[in-house]
Chains A and B, each alone.
Chain A
Amino acid sequence: MSETTFMGVERDKIDWKPTIDYTKCDYCMECVKFCPHKVFEVRETEDIKLIIRNANNCVVFCRACSKICGPDALSFPDKNATTQRIREIRKEMESNG
């Protein structure tokens, strides 16, 4: 899955990914099993055993993994702010021809 644009905007310009709250996460790895897009990476031998590896693979506006996270350790940016940002970028693109 390497969708490079979302609504005509470069994926890289859209800030949408899960943020892990390490004070809550218990490393059950349910999110890793769940998400098919290889957003997470497991690091068995490190102190921090789970990181966001491919933020741009995360489907913009999807929040599905947070639903299966028991300790509620995953959070996402504000949807409205993200939509607003996408509109702005599109406007900029239009006016730049």
Chain B
Amino acid sequence: MVENYAILPCNGLDKCAGVISREIAIKLCENPKNEIICPVYYRVAEAKYNKIAGKHPLLVIDGCQTRCASKLSAEKNLKISRQVTITEEAKKHKIELGSNLRLLENENALIEIIQNGLNNTEVKVTQSSVETSFLVKFEYETYQNGKFIFRVPKNQEVWFNENDCWVYVIGNRARIGVTDFVQQNLSDILYFTPPEIGAEIDQFGEVGEIESSKSVFELISPVSGKVISINETIVQQPELINENPYESGWIAELELTDFESDKELLIGFDKYFEIVKNKVKDVNG
């Protein structure tokens, strides 16, 4: 249920998706416990909205992938608790949005779906999140280049893909995350968009997204499987990914589908360590 939230829509008026973001915000704020943040007025009435955002968890509704509302939150140093992008939802639910700025049948259908989705998911996540107790003790090898220090775990149970994500496998369970290379490249990570609990992910499929003011990184899953839990702590504190992307900053846990086959396309410590060194040299010139 979306209740006691501060709601920040992008309110973009020249795109249908922006108009939809506004409509959803208005609908959610029919519940008097929610409060709306107007992105335009925020520019001049900062104190007012900082206060609202300080009191409630923040739900950001972006119209399109430009994600102006998310960017505004970053500018204002607000922590995002939940985020939706209208164009992505439209794609997911196979609804074609018009170029017209008026809300017609399709748009209204989408508004209802998103609103219901928002009102229902939260409960689902907390109920079905079953975190394995991964008593992982990482042992690292370190590589330093200038002021950057890169750690790579050398445990045998840890595998990597060449897209800088790691996986720690215990039986048919796996915990995944990004490597120090990603974290250092992005610098301060401001949001984490988790994958959905229960989602079936293919090997190299998307398994969430992290974003800094510099860049967006789509997490590319090293393994195939079903998402059984996400690191809820980093939703609130994405900076933990910067602190330690292997331990407190892990991303999600999966129930594996076919690790034997996935393994063929993964690499171990030795190879990844070499790759990382080369990538670092490339980036640092």
**Minimum distance in angstroms from B240 CB to a CB of chain A:** 22
Is A93 at the interface (CB under 8 A from chain B)? no
**Minimum distance in angstroms from B208 CB to a CB of chain A:** 12
Size bracket of the B interface:
20 to 34
Q: List 9 A-B contacts (CB under 8 A).
A: A7-B265, A60-B162, A63-B218, A64-B215, A64-B216, A67-B218, A69-B65, A72-B64, A72-B65
Known: A60-B162, A61-B163, A90-B264. A67 touches B204 (CB 8 A): no
Q: Which of A61, A68, A83 has the most CB of B within 10 A?
A: A61
Is B66 at the interface (CB under 8 A from chain A)? yes
B87 pairs with A72, CB closer than 8 A? yes
Interface positions of A from 4 to 62, Cβ below 8 Å from B: 6-7, 30, 34, 36, 59-62
**Which listed residue (B87, B264, B282) contacts A87, Cβ 8 A?**
B264
Is B205 at the interface (CB under 8 A from chain A)? yes
Size bracket of the A interface:
20 to 34
Give the residue name and chain of the A residue nearest to B209 (CB): A67
A83 pairs with B204, CB closer than 8 A? yes
**Minimum distance in angstroms from B59 CB to a CB of chain A:** 20
Is B220 at the interface (CB under 8 A from chain A)? yes
**Which listed residue (B163, B205, B206, B264) contacts A59, Cβ 8 A?**
B163
**Which listed residue (A30, A61, A66) contacts B220, Cβ 8 A?**
A61
Interface positions of A from 56 to 96, Cβ below 8 Å from B: 59-64, 66-72, 79-80, 82-83, 86-87, 90
Taking CB atoms, residues of chain A closer than 8 Å to B23 are: none
6 further contact pairs, Cβ within 8 A, besides A70-B64, A70-B66: A7-B265, A36-B283, A61-B163, A61-B220, A72-B87, A83-B265
Interface residue ranges, B against A (CB under 8 Å): 64-66, 87, 162-163, 202-206, 209, 215-218, 220, 264-265, 267, 282-283
B216 pairs with A62, CB closer than 8 A? no
A67 pairs with B65, CB closer than 8 A? yes
Give the residue name and chain of the B residue nearest to A59 (CB): B163
Taking CB atoms, residues of chain A closer than 8 Å to B209 are: 67
Q: Provide the bound-state CA to CA distance between A30 and B215, in Å.
A: 12
**Minimum distance in angstroms from A63 CB to a CB of chain B:** 6
Q: Which of B65, B202, B205, B217 has the most CB of A within 10 A?
A: B65
Q: Which of B66, B203, B283 has the most CB of A within 10 A?
A: B66
Q: Provide the bound-state CA to CA distance between A36 and B285, in Å.
A: 13
Q: Provide the bound-state CA to CA distance between A66 and B220, in Å.
A: 15
Taking CB atoms, residues of chain B closer than 8 Å to A6 are: 162
Taking CB atoms, residues of chain B closer than 8 Å to A64 are: 215-218
Taking CB atoms, residues of chain A closer than 8 Å to B283 are: 36
Taking CB atoms, residues of chain B closer than 8 Å to A62 are: 163, 218, 220
B65 pairs with A70, CB closer than 8 A? yes
**Minimum distance in angstroms from A97 CB to a CB of chain B:** 18
Taking CB atoms, residues of chain A closer than 8 Å to B217 are: 64
Q: Provide the bound-state CA to CA distance between A72 and B91, in Å.
A: 11
Q: Provide the bound-state CA to CA distance between A43 and B217, in Å.
A: 27
Give the residue name and chain of the B residue nearest to A71 (CB): B64
B203 pairs with A68, CB closer than 8 A? no
B64 pairs with A83, CB closer than 8 A? no
A68 pairs with B66, CB closer than 8 A? yes
B66 pairs with A61, CB closer than 8 A? no
Known: A60-B162, A83-B265. A68 touches B204 (CB 8 A): no
Q: Provide the bound-state CA to CA distance between A67 and B216, in Å.
A: 8
**Minimum distance in angstroms from A65 CB to a CB of chain B:** 9
